[in-house]
Amino acid sequence: MTTSTRPSDSTKTFDRFLVLLAVMGVLTVGLALVAALRAPTPPTPATNASGVSAAPAEETDRVAARIELKEWAIEGTLEVPAGKVTLELANTGTMVHNLAFEDGPVSPDVNPGQIVTFDVGYLAPGVYTIYCAIPGHREAGMEVTFVVTDPAGDHAGHSAAPSGSSRSDHLANPQEADAMMLESMLAFPAETEGEGNQILVPTEILEDGTKVFDLTISIIDWEVAPGEFVEAWAYNGQVPGPWIRAEVGDKLRFRVTNNLPLGQDIHWHGIKVPFAMDGVAPYTQEPIKQGETFIYEYEAVRPAIGMYHSHMHGQMAIPNGLFGAFQIGDAPIPRGKTVAGVEIPEDIEIVDEFPMVLNDAGTIGLTLNAKSFPATKPYVFRQGDWFVVHYYNQGLQTHPMHMHGPDQLVFAKDGFPLDSPYWADTINIAPGERYSVLVHADEVGTWVWHCHILNHVESSEGMFGMATAVIVEPAE
């Protein structure tokens, strides 16, 4: 008789139970590990706007404050106790604004009429610089101090910041507002040091006729408005850089020396050049390092109303001043044409021709030819004179340039002659664009000439920025 060795049903049931327990144990451990990995890490100490480590959030009180942003002021609660700060940003102006802490966090952009919550993080006691980081807005006056006090009452040795100027409330102080506006306008024209757009003279002319020019890049002190000096990045010590004039067929050589700590190049915007001379490091050349000189050499093969500017680090270099006008040949004036019933004389005499370079950012800010009203240059003519203006937008925004009085005949776009020139009193000029206009000084007067984004020319403090005048005197 043979004895069976197969396990009984009860034994098999017990074994299955043990296996099930083991599997459940493995699953439990696995789930615990996943939960541990996915669990949020303990909060690390926040960093304030000056980059200083602060206390953990749970050890601090939450602090809320409201700040209003408008042209060109930052107002509201500008003093708070130390803690985890949340700012309610209300844009009561007409343009997009934001709020930035120097070397610290930057808020989202706030549209006109919008309110945005800005979680700054923990701020230790001290004085912080806050400003609008939209190009040109800080330079226009949107910068104040933000004071964070010790909860115990100690101001850490700093006095409280002003809570905003009452000057911005025109209705509350109408006489003062009128007086400030008139005073600012009557200060025009104001003298300042430095003038840009000076004609670049060849350093030498070689035996084969090549014209050799020298351009040196450096940082200078530039008086952008009366008594207001900024650190400008300049070609040959001026902003805009020297006005380069050449003729079709000229052989040109530019020796460019860089005295900036950053690498540089020069892009010849709107000028027909070989690829190797286009000035876009590292694609066409190596960056020009500090103390080095690079030579650009090419022939002026066609007429142009172009410009030159830095391409490497252009987001800083151009707004800070590294730009200039470059013209090859004569402007394509529509002599003898009749436009909208107005005849342009065949033998027209142009008494003046000049660049009008627009900027709105960097250290140069809202300017015409790198000067802010009332330091902008007035343009004086006799009744009956004809003159030519070449607009260059080297800024980051579009600018509608409006001339009171005389009309503007737009005859070229980016240097290309228009088959159908047209008259306009306001010309919209986008970044990088050039418009050439012919103007007849037909009416006597002091005619205001300005960007028609009015916040680019007026503030609660008076007129500033992108404004000048065409002065037409009686003919002799």
Within this chain, domains 57-162 and 204-473 share the same CATH topology: yes
CB 253 within 8 A of CB 295: yes
Mean pLDDT of 197-207: 98
Superfamily covering domain 204-473: Cupredoxins -  blue copper proteins (2.60.40.420)
Residue 124 pLDDT exceeds 60: yes
Give dist(CA 421, CA 330) in Å, integer. 17
HEC profile for 356-409? EEEEEECCCEEEECCECECCCCCEEEECCCEEEEEEEECCCCCEEEEECCCCEE
Q: What is the average pLDDT score of the chain?
A: 87
- Considering only residues 11 and 462, tell me which one the structure prediction assigns the higher pLDDT: 462
- Asked if CATH classification 2.60.40.420 holds for the domain at 57-162, the reply, yes or no, is yes
- Asked if the model's pLDDT at residue 153 lies above 50, the reply is yes
d(CA 413, CA 306): 10
CB 222 within 8 A of CB 239: yes
Of 76, 120, 67, 114, nearest in space to 95 by CA? 114
Between 432 and 54, residue with greater pLDDT? 432
Residue 193 pLDDT > 60: yes
pLDDT of residue 16: 56
Task: Please report which confidence band the pLDDT of residue 134 belongs to, taking 50, 70 and 90 as the band edges.
Answer: confident
> What is the rounded distance in angstroms from the CA atom of residue 419 to the CA atom of residue 412?
9
Reported as a single tens digit per residue, the pLDDT across 403-446 is: 999 999 999 999 999 999 999 999 999 999 999 999 999 999 99
What number of other Cβ atoms are within 10 A of residue 239's Cβ?
30
pLDDT at 173: 83
Consecutive H or E run containing 52: none
- pLDDT of 60: 52
266: tokens are 């020069």
Tens digits of per-residue pLDDT, 207-263?
A: 999 999 999 999 999 999 999 999 999 999 999 999 999 999 999 999 999 999 999
Place 28 in a pLDDT band, splitting at 50, 70 and 90.
low
What percentage of residues in the chain have a pLDDT greater than 70? 83
Residues 279 and 291: their CA atoms lie apart, in Å, by 18
pLDDT at 398 over 80: yes
The predicted-structure confidence for 286-344, as pLDDT tens digits, reads as follows 999 999 999 999 999 999 999 999 999 999 999 999 999 999 999 999 999 999 999 99
Domain ranges of the chain: 57-162, 204-473
- Residue 138: pLDDT band with limits 50, 70, 90: confident
| pLDDT range class, residue 93, cuts 50, 70, 90 | confident
Taking only the tens place, the pLDDT of each residue in 98-114 is: 999 999 999 999 988 89
> In whole angstroms, what is the distance from residue 409 CA to residue 339 CA?
9
